[in-house]
């Protein structure tokens, strides 16, 4: 994809990506995605709290991940916001005993819940935990992600160092995919995302970058010169997507991740233009 004057000069690719967004950004997307877990709650506070856990645990096999998240909801008595806000280590820690998913162990569940409780006591809501670190003129939510993770990690002096690996930070070079995805859920509107947060603008969102979206982005020439799905790659991809849609770059997460996870074959004319291996046209 060639660029001039800071804007995309390939309207055909732009239209193709918009078509992929329309294909995947539908209510049917929800059922097998971790966003289905917060969609099971009516309260915006419950959605924000359990959505955070859902995003942080969104890795590994989807069926296993969703089963573990439903288990976590049951352990929280189907009242995640109340459980976290009223969490008492002496009274409630046993509710989290035995809960684990991949490398996320019971001690991580207990400390994340305790530290999130204290952060909510101090700042009021998950939205404020992110937004207080973001200026209106900031180009992207990197400072919000960095500030959120640092706050939750550092709010209690005894927090074990192992919690850091579950709370990504741009400073560490991570693409921060899961927290970028969580912010997409909360900030964007549409048939899939909630769009209930107003202190962060959709224009500031990052495109969540993982193996699936990174592979498709590279084949379409939206990512060049970076082999790793790291923070710099996430910024590059977001800049390219912002040229296509300045007010809502994260919408292209549906195109890239949707095509990647579904195994869709891409239109040959766009793959060829990126210099990568060509594929057949998406029908």
Q: How would DSSP label each residue in 142-173?
A: HHHHHHHHHHHHHSSTT--GGGGGGS--GGGT
Q: What is the pLDDT of residues 92-121, one digit of tens each?
A: 999 999 999 999 999 999 999 999 999 999
Q: What is the reported pTM?
A: 0.93
Instruction: State whether 194 and 248 are in the same domain.
Output: no
Q: What is the pLDDT of residues 144-176, one digit of tens each?
A: 999 999 999 999 999 999 999 999 999 999 999
Instruction: State whether 38 and 73 are in the same domain.
Output: yes
Pick from 166, 198, 230: which residue ends a domain?
198
Q: What distance in Å separates the CA atoms of residue 227 and residue 163, rounded to the nearest whole number?
A: 27
Instruction: State whether 174 and 212 are in the same domain.
Output: no
Instruction: State whether 56 and 15 are in the same domain.
Output: no
Question: Of 132, 60, 59, 51, which is closest to residue 84 (Cα–Cα)?
Answer: 51
Instruction: State whether 170 and 219 are in the same domain.
Output: no
Instruction: State whether 165 and 224 are in the same domain.
Output: no
Instruction: State whether 113 and 243 are in the same domain.
Output: no
Instruction: State whether 238 and 254 are in the same domain.
Output: yes
Instruction: State whether 55 and 180 are in the same domain.
Output: yes
- CA-derived radius of gyration, the chain: 19
Instruction: State whether 182 and 218 are in the same domain.
Output: no
pLDDT of 190 reads 96
Mean predicted confidence (pLDDT) in 167-190: 98
Q: How confident is the model at residue 273 (pLDDT cuts 50, 70, 90)?
A: low
Q: What distance in Å separates the CA atoms of residue 259 and residue 149, rounded to the nearest whole number?
A: 30
Q: What distance in Å separates the CA atoms of residue 223 and residue 219, rounded to the nearest whole number?
A: 8
- Sign, CA dihedral 165-206-55-158, equals positive
Four-point Cα dihedral 11, 13, 17, 22, nearest 10: 60
Neighbours of 12 (CB within 10 A): 12
Q: What is the pLDDT of residues 74-97, one digit of tens each?
A: 999 999 999 999 999 999 999 999
For residue 283, pLDDT over 50 is answered with no
The DSSP string of 114-139 is HHHHHHHHHHSSHHHHHHTT--TT-S
Q: What is the pLDDT of residues 126-144, one digit of tens each?
A: 999 999 999 999 999 999 9
Instruction: State whether 64 and 181 are in the same domain.
Output: yes
pLDDT of 131 reads 98
Instruction: State whether 188 and 211 are in the same domain.
Output: no
Domain of residue 124 covers: 31-198
Interior angle at CA 153, CA 124 and CA 115, nearest 5 = 45
Q: What distance in Å separates the CA atoms of residue 197 and residue 181, rounded to the nearest whole number?
A: 14
Pick from 171, 198, 225: which residue ends a domain?
198
For residue 69, pLDDT over 50 is answered with yes
Q: How confident is the model at residue 40 (pLDDT cuts 50, 70, 90)?
A: very high
How many domains in the chain? 2
Say which residue the tokens 């990504």 belong to: 168
Q: What is the pLDDT of residues 193-248, one digit of tens each?
A: 999 999 999 999 999 999 999 999 999 999 999 999 999 999 999 999 999 999 99
Pick from 137, 172, 198: which residue ends a domain?
198
**Cβ pair 184, 52 in contact under 8 A:** no
Say which residue the tokens 């224009």 belong to: 203
């Amino acid at each position: 994809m060639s660029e001039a004057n800071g804007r995309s000069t390939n309207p055909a690719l732009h239209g193709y990506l918009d078509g992929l967004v329309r294909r995947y950004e539908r209510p049917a997307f929800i059922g097998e995605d971790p966003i289905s877990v917060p969609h099971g709650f009516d309260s915006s506070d419950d959605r924000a709290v359990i959505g955070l856990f859902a995003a942080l645990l969104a890795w590994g096999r989807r069926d296993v991940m969703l089963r573990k998240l439903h288990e976590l909801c049951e352990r929280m008595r189907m009242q995640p916001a109340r459980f976290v806000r009223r969490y008492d280590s002496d009274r409630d820690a046993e509710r989290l005993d035995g809960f684990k998913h991949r490398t996320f162990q019971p001690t991580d569940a207990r400390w994340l819940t305790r530290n999130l409780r204290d952060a909510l006591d101090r700042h009021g809501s998950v939205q404020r935990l992110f937004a207080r670190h973001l200026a209106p003129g900031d180009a992207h939510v990197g400072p919000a992600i960095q500030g959120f993770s640092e706050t939750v990690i550092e709010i209690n002096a005894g927090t074990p160092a192992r919690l850091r690996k579950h709370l990504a930070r741009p400073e560490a070079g991570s693409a921060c995919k899961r927290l970028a995805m969580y912010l997409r859920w909360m900030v964007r509107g549409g048939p899939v995302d909630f769009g209930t947060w107003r202190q962060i603008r959709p224009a500031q969102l990052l495109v969540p970058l993982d193996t699936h979206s990174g592979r498709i982005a590279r084949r379409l020439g939206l990512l060049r010169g970076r082999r790793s799905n790291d923070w710099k790659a996430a910024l590059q991809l977001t800049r390219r997507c912002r040229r296509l849609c300045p007010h809502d770059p994260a919408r292209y997460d549906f195109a890239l991740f949707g095509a990647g996870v579904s195994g869709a074959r891409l239109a040959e004319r766009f793959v060829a233009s990126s210099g990568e291996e060509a594929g057949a046209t998406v029908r």
